[in-house]
């Protein structure tokens, strides 16, 4: 569509003036067609100023996703080398789960501009509004069946934390096991799911789903969630951030799988773990109890001390920071 090609050029020249004539000749259309596209782009939420006798300047974007920009910024060898973009989808994780994964490449990535049934842990809903977040899933084919899913979630959390810090220049914090926080509110959730192979009944494919709030945060979750835009005032970084998350994830995943650098990954994770020393509610499968967080062990399990002084290594379930008040 012409409007997307116009926006792509303005995005690349963001902050600079591009003349109507330049756009028309680059795209092989009339100036009038360019003017009409600019009009539609404005209606879609992009702030484009027309400078008299000069040209157009993109001030604020509605943060359109461009596969081409993401691909240009990828430095990976296999993560995201095959990538599929959707304007809308039920859930990127679900989409990969429903595919016949025998023909899918290791590192295949699905990105969507919105999700109508985005899922979080424990089957909770993950609100995924159009243009307002990054919703992506990475499919991994494991070489060894024993590779630990919890550690893959930890790799993803470290990748997202590093990517946000690099691209947005803000400090992130991690809440075990899969939430990234900024300024005391959740900015990203990660859902890692395994697929059992039909014949072998063994775990050989894992889907890592990542949801990052980048734009407006819906009112219903405004007390517990935040976004890149809310913290930095900046919009228009989704393409860059998607690429950086994938770039970081590949390095960290290979550090874990091939380069035996698990300890370094855990060390970074622990450096961002803001719950150390705090009292939390541990929500186990059978019962809940209050405990103090001591850190995480080499397997990524949360180490806590309960109120009778017993040390426990938690591998499943989740924790709450403020009970009676979902956070």
Contact positions vs ligand BTN (CB under 6 A): 91-93, 115, 118-121, 124, 126, 135-137, 178, 189-191, 209-211
Residue (55 or 209) nearer to ligand BTN, CB: 209
Shortest CB 117 distance to ligand BTN, Å: 7
Residue (67 or 307) nearer to ligand BTN, CB: 67
Shortest CB 92 distance to ligand BTN, Å: 4
Shortest CB 273 distance to ligand BTN, Å: 17
Please say whether the beta carbons of 208 and 246 come within 8 A. Answer: no
Collapse the DSSP code of 172 into the 3-class scheme (helix H, G, I; strand E, B; otherwise coil) and give the result: coil
Q: Which residues contact 246 (CB under 8 A, 6 or more apart)?
A: 70, 74, 76, 79, 80, 109, 138
Please say whether the beta carbons of 111 and 154 come within 8 A. Answer: no
Shortest CB 159 distance to ligand BTN, Å: 14
Closest CA to 128 of 224, 65, 210: 210
Kindly compute the dihedral angle of the four CA atoms of residues 22, 24, 28, 34, in this order, to the nearest 10 degrees.
150
Residue (55 or 107) nearer to ligand BTN, CB: 107
Supply φ then ψ for residue 20, to 5 degrees: -60, -40
The H or E element spanning position 36 is helix 31-43
Shortest CB 119 distance to ligand BTN, Å: 4
């Amino acid at each position: 569509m012409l409007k997307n090609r116009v926006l792509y050029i303005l995005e690349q020249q963001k902050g600079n003036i591009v003349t109507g004539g330049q756009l028309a000749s680059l795209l092989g259309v009339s100036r009038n067609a360019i003017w009409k596209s600019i009009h539609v782009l404005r209606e879609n939420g992009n702030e484009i100023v027309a400078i008299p006798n000069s040209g157009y300047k993109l001030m604020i974007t509605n943060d359109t996703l461009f596969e081409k920009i993401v691909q240009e910024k990828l430095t990976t060898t296999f993560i995201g080398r095959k990538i599929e973009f959707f304007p809308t989808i039920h859930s990127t994780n679900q989409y990969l789960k429903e595919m016949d994964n025998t023909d899918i490449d290791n590192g295949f990535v699905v990105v969507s501009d919105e999700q109508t049934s985005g899922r979080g842990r424990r089957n909770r809903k993950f609100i995924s509004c159009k243009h307002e977040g990054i919703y992506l899933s990475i499919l991994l084919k494991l070489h060894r069946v024993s590779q630990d899913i919890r550690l893959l979630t930890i790799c993803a959390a470290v990748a997202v934390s590093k990517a946000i810090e690099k691209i947005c220049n803000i400090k992130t914090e991690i809440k075990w096991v899969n939430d990234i926080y900024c300024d005391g509110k959740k900015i990203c959730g990660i859902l890692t799911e395994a697929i059992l192979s039909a014949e072998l009944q063994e775990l050989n494919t894992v889907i890592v789903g990542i949801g990052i709030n980048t734009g407006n945060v819906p009112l219903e979750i405004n007390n517990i969630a935040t976004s890149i835009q809310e913290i930095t005032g900046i919009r228009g970084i989704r393409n860059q951030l998607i690429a950086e998350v994938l770039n970081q994830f590949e390095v960290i995943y290979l550090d874990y799988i091939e380069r035996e650098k698990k300890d370094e990954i855990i060390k970074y994770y622990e450096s961002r773990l803001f719950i150390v020393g705090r009292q939390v509610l541990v929500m186990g499968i059978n019962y809940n109890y209050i405990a103090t967080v001591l850190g995480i062990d080499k397997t990524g399990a949360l180490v806590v001390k309960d109120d009778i002084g017993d040390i426990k290594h938690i591998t499943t379930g989740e924790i709450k920071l403020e009970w009676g008040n979902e956070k």
